[in-house]
Amino acid sequence: MSVIDSIPFEILEAVKKENLSIEVTTRCTSNCTYCFVLSDCIEYHDLDYETVFSIIMEGYEIGYRHLHITGGEPLLWGYLFDILNDAISIGYEAIFLNTNGFLLDTKILQQLKSIKGLSLSISLLGFEAIHNAFRGNNSFIKTTQAIEMALYNNIPVYLFCVTGKSLLPHVPHFIQWAYQKFPGIKEITLIQLIRVSEDAGNVCNELLSPDDFLFLVRMISLLKIYGFPVSLLEIPLAAVVAQLFQLPWFPNPLHLIRPGKLTIKADKSITIAHSSSQSVGIYSRGELHRILASEVYLRGVKEDHNTCSSCNHIAACRKAGMQRPSEFFRDMNENIPYCKRVLDSIC
């Protein structure tokens, strides 16, 4: 039996639709107060070219066709354009590159423009005062200029917006402003602000309460009615809330932890999700095959039978497609899962 044959069929099928995520560096030009990459970082890490090339080759052999390059700030990594070109040559069909945009200039944009199937996600955290509060003075100007330059060069751009209490009441106005300011952006993705251990700044006052979360789901639903492409990143709890509120037009988010998903971090540790600190292995050639075929991985991505089985909301969650409880880092409450508190609030 080949190594590929040892990977379950449902995992191989999921891989075809998933991004293979690689954190090429933890170095960054920002020092965001909520950053999970730098939260417990004692020293910076960079992957070497040979390791990343091995990862993308092995990923392609398994069946990945979509590549996700992240950091840190990937534009600080010296082998970025070599790997992007390698990936296209190998046969990857799409590459998604995360950046804060600070380093985008004419030369870099021309290089990015030449790479078939590449799109950018650029982080914009709200209006100027909110964005600068998280990312530093003048960062808003740098980011908005980067978005405009990328669009001018016909590079597909998605806006990622980390959403906490400061932005919450301004979300509709911000979404409308952003689509008017940057005609041509593909979508705005809202990302719930999370708490991480040893974070650079205390963001407890910015975390969304259960009632805040319900408010956010309602707002996104209304924005969808008015024709704004906006989504909530990888929080299936939102689909449960939308179902209970009878909002059928709400976009159904994917699970953060799901079959086929893998992230290789800059220290070579492998996790199921980028924001997770729970390693399932250390990368060496063949490790991706082994992990995807392992019982540890299968248990990690399949339906939860421990926490959920004793919850009175399990029927509603399963009906909406939610298979696992909300992650601990939503607000680091050890007593009651975030999802249960949100759904209790409805009841």
Which of 14, 2, 6 has the alpha carbon at shortest distance from 301?
A: 14
With both helix axes pointing from N to C terminus, report the angle between 237-244 and 338-346 in degrees, rounded to the nearest 10: 10
Q: What is the pLDDT of residue 22?
A: 98
The pTM assigned to this predicted structure is 0.92
Is residue 216 within 8 Å of 169, Cβ to Cβ? no
Domain-embedded: residue 278: yes
The long-range contacts involving 314-319, CB below 8 angstroms and separated by at least 24 positions, are 316/240, 316/243, 316/244, 316/343, 317/240, 317/343, 319/243
Q: Which helix (H) or strand (E) holds 107?
A: helix 106-113
Domain that holds residue 133: 4-208+258-302
Choice between 136 and 161, residue whose per-residue pLDDT is larger: 161
**Is 61 within a domain?**
yes
The predicted pLDDT at position 1 comes to 45
Give 223 or 275, the one with higher predicted confidence. Answer: 223
Distance of alpha carbon 324 from the chain centroid = 18
Mean pLDDT across the stretch 255-283? 90
Q: Which pair of tokens denotes residue 54?
A: 């091995």
In a domain, 35, yes or no: yes
Tally the domains of the chain. 1
- What's the rounded mean pLDDT across residues 303-311? 87
In the numeric block, the tokens 């209006």 are attached to 127
Percentage with pLDDT > 70 across the chain:
94
Average pLDDT of every residue of the chain: 90
Query: pLDDT, tens digit, for every residue of 163-211?
Result: 999 999 999 999 999 999 999 999 999 999 887 655 545 677 888 999 9
Nearest alpha carbon to residue 227 among 171, 176, 173, 151: 176
130 falls within a domain: yes
pLDDT of residue 332: 73
Say what the pLDDT of residue 162 is.
Answer: 92
Predicted confidence (pLDDT) per residue in 120-152, tens digit: 999 999 999 999 988 888 899 999 999 999 999
Residues 107-116, mean pLDDT to the nearest whole number: 95
CATH number for the domain including 87? 3.20.20.70
Contact between 189 and 161 (Cβ < 8 Å): yes
Side-chain-side CA neighbours of 161 within 13 Å: the count stands at 31
**Angle at 341 (CA atoms; ends 37, 222), nearest 5 degrees:** 80
Report if residue 152 sits inside a domain. Answer: yes
* 193 domain-assigned: yes
What average pLDDT score do residues 58-79 get? Answer: 96
Angle between helices 80-90 and 49-62 (to 10 degrees): 20
Asked if residue 167 is part of any domain, the answer here is: yes
Residue type, 302: K
Q: Give SS3 for 175.
A: helix
270 is a domain residue:
yes
